[in-house]
Amino acid sequence: MTNFVDFNQVEFKMEKSVISQFFNGRSVFVTGSTGLMGKVLVWKLLYSCPGIKNIFVLIRSKRGKSALLRYQEIIKAPLFDSIRKTNKSLLSKLQVVCGDVGLDGLGITQEMKERLISEVSIVFHGAATLNLDASLTEAINLNTTGTLRMLELCSDMKNLEAFVHFSTAFCHVDLDTLDEEVHKSTFDVYNIIRLPSWLNENSIKMVTPHLINPHPNTYTFSKRLAEDVVSDFYPQLPVVIARPSIVTPALKEPLPGWVDNLNGPTGILAAGGKGVLRSVLCNSEYTTEAVPVDFAINAVIVIAWKTAITKQKANVIPVYNLTQHNLNPMTWGAVMAKGREETMKNPFELMLWYPTGSLTSNRFIHTYKVICYHWIPAYLIDGILFLLGQKRFMIRVQQKISDGLRVLQYFTLRNWDFTNDRLLALRDSLSEVDRETFSIDFEKMDMDIYFRNCILGARQYCLKEDPASIPKARKTLKVLYVLDLVVIYLKYALVAWLLYKVYATVSAVM
């Protein structure tokens, strides 16, 4: 699946790209560069805007790893293979900024702060905790107050032309239709930010469900409040909000199917393909709202360019919903069917059972299947491993799956409606070269090829399974199919025997 780039051809095309030329000689500041979108954003800026001066990336130390070490691990990832092997000098444009949006002053040294203030003209703010189970204190500190800290820094930037805030299309769960505008929260965001200063953590946990209602989690709540903060800086700063829906593996760039995590639909397809996920609480007739990561990144780059060149500012802050909105709609049922089809063609290694998972919107049926097909097998397998003196893992795996499904079901049991008129108008205004270079053409997606690459990408990049193992995995799949048929036959035979015994008992009594 690895592609290598002909940079001579790229540079020729970039000479005709208005957007690429715009970034020539400009410096960019990126937060959230260690996440899925951040990595692709950095890659795309290097690849399609090779004349860029510097890309400052804010990285924090984590789990004993320094910011510099984490940066070195990032550029060794497969998505940077093409740049590393054909034009490695581009990587020298990356400048590591040691810091953390969760700290006052962002934890940046005064020397680096002065450099950012004097050099940076475009800011992409994507740093956030995506943990849907994060405490309210953590979510507010990173997602809301972190955004405020970034804006305060940017207020001092001498040449700031665009500040693109990465929000989420799911931050206004109380609206049936989400238009491309900010809807102010009923709360004073700054009072929420000050909450930990006058309320202890236990009290905050107690009031959290009532405070965030109707939001299903602290993530969407804190991201909604962050939009309030961003809008308060408009029009003093050239701020703009971009709201992607569920971000899925890459369509084409940097590699077809590239992904670095198993969150969302990708995790469901992988768990189903492994045979450990047999039931998902979901309305199969509802439409999915998802955007390939390369489309989302292309959009935010174009949005930054448009914001910078627009001299006549609108009365209200510009907002772009990065959603497909019926351009190439697919139901959850179709997603699962396509995923299962491609999983059968390109099965995973170490499958625990034949992939026969299904969707249901009936909570009783879902609970029954989870008990019978998730938890009972997990306890049996771990019990056998315990007796054999081996490390147990199945209960832990099922707990992770259960936690993931619990937070995901809020989104799979609702039909979402996100308009994207401003996004499409922006897309239609691009030149032919820029529309191809920074593609957001949902209508042209070949879904068969895309799902195949999603499965292969999850297999290779997340689960680290060698593509060469697919033929062997297909043989394993055939064996599991036969075993599944045997189990089904035995199950029906058992039911038939029980019915016979009941009939015989009743007949004897009669």
User: 463: exposed, middle or buried (C-beta count within 10 Å: 0-12, 13-18, 19+)?
Assistant: middle
Model pLDDT, residue 14: 62
Q: How far apart are CA 78 and CA 254, in angstroms?
A: 9
| Per-residue tokens: 402 | 């259960």
Q: Is the dihedral of CA 72, 76, 80, 85 positive or negative?
A: positive
Nearest Cα to Cα of residue 192 among 157, 156, 228: 228
Q: How far apart are CA 453 and CA 253, in angstroms?
A: 12
For residue 109, the number of C-alpha atoms closer than 13 Å in the C-beta half-sphere is 6
Angle, alpha carbons 360-363-369 (nearest 5°): 70
Model pLDDT, residue 32: 92
Q: Say if CB 296 and CB 372 are below 8 A apart.
A: no
- Low-confidence stretches of the chain (pLDDT < 50) are 5, 7, 12
Locate the DSSP E strands across 308-420: 319-322, 358-360
Model pLDDT, residue 405: 78
Q: Say if CB 250 and CB 449 are below 8 A apart.
A: no
Q: How far apart are CA 135 and CA 113, in angstroms?
A: 30
Length in residues, the chain = 510
User: In a 3-state reduction of DSSP, which class is residue 190?
Assistant: helix
Nearest Cα to Cα of residue 46 among 18, 83, 79, 16: 83
Q: How far apart are CA 462 and CA 270, in angstroms?
A: 10
Locate the DSSP E strands across 100-205: 120-125, 162-166
User: 143: exposed, middle or buried (C-beta count within 10 Å: 0-12, 13-18, 19+)?
Assistant: buried
Residue 410: CB atoms within 10 Å = 16
Q: Say if CB 420 and CB 319 are below 8 A apart.
A: no
Q: How far apart are CA 159 and CA 88, in angstroms?
A: 29
Nearest Cα to Cα of residue 401 among 219, 275, 260: 275
Model pLDDT, residue 449: 94
| Per-residue tokens: 267 | 């995790």
Residue 131: CB atoms within 10 Å = 14
Model pLDDT, residue 300: 97
Model pLDDT, residue 460: 92
